[in-house]
Amino acid sequence: MEPQRSPLLEVKGNIESKRPLVKAPSRLPLPGSRLKRGPDQMEDALEPKKKRTRGLGTATKFVMSHPRAPALTTVPQTQGQISAPKVPKKTGPRCSTAVATVLKNQKSGPAVPAQKPGTAAAPPKLGGKKPSKRPAWDLKGQLCDLNAELKCCREKTQTLDQENQQLRSQLREAQQQATALGIERRTLEGELARVQAQAEQSQQELGNLSTHVLELEERLGTQEGLVQELQKEQLGFQEERRRLATLLEEQERTLQASEAALSGSQAEVASLRREAAAQAALLAERGERLHGLEMERRRLHNQLQELKGNIRVFCRVRPVLPGEPTPPPGFLLFPSGPGGPSDPPTHLSLFRSDERRGTLSGAPAPPTRHDFSFDRIFPPGSGQDEVFEEIAMLVQSALDGYPVCIFAYGQTGSGKTFTMEGGPGADPQEEGLIPRALRHLFSVAQELSGQGWTYSFVASYVEIYNETVRDLLATGTRKAQGGECEIRRAGPGSEELTVTNARYVPVSCEKEVEALLYLARQNRAVARTAQNERSSRSHSVFQLQISGEHAGRGLQCGAPLNLVDLAGSERLDPGLALGPGERERLRETQAINSSLSTLGLVIMALSNKESHVPYRNSKLTYLLQNSLGGSAKMLMFVNISPLEENISESLNSLRFASKVNQCVIGTAQPNRK
User: Is 413 marked within a binding site?
Assistant: yes
Q: Please give the DSSP secondary-structure letter assigned to residue 569.
A: -
118 appears as a binding residue in the annotation: no
Residues 116, 11 contacting (CB under 8 angstroms): no
Distances (CA, A) of 389 to 386, 414, 511, 546: 5, 21, 21, 21
CA angle 79, 82, 85 (to 5 degrees): 145
432 marked ligand binding residue = no
502/462 Cα distance (integer angstroms): 8
HSE at residue 125, side-chain half, CA atoms within 13 A, is 8
410 is an annotated ligand-binding site residue: yes
* H-only helix segments in 315-462: 384-399, 416-421, 433-448
What whole-number distance in Å separates Cα of residue 289 and Cα of residue 250? 20
The residues, any chain, with a CB within 8 Å of residue 64's CB and separated by 6 or more, are: 7, 10, 112, 114, 115, 121, 133, 134, 135, 136
Spatial separation of the C-alpha atoms in residues 334 and 349, rounded to whole Å:
6
* Residue 411 among known ligand-binding residues: yes
158 is known to lie in a ligand binding site: no
254 assigned to a ligand binding site: no
Number of CB atoms found within 10 A of residue 271's CB: 15
- 98: nearest Cα among 61, 121, 73, 63: 73
CA distance 401 to 561: 10
**Cα separation values, 84 from 76, 180, 434, 546, Å:** 9, 44, 109, 107
Residues 6+ apart with CB under 8 A from 341: none
Please state the separation of Cα 627 from the chain's center in Å. Answer: 25
> Residues within the annotated binding site for ATP?
410-417
Binding-site residue numbers are 410-417
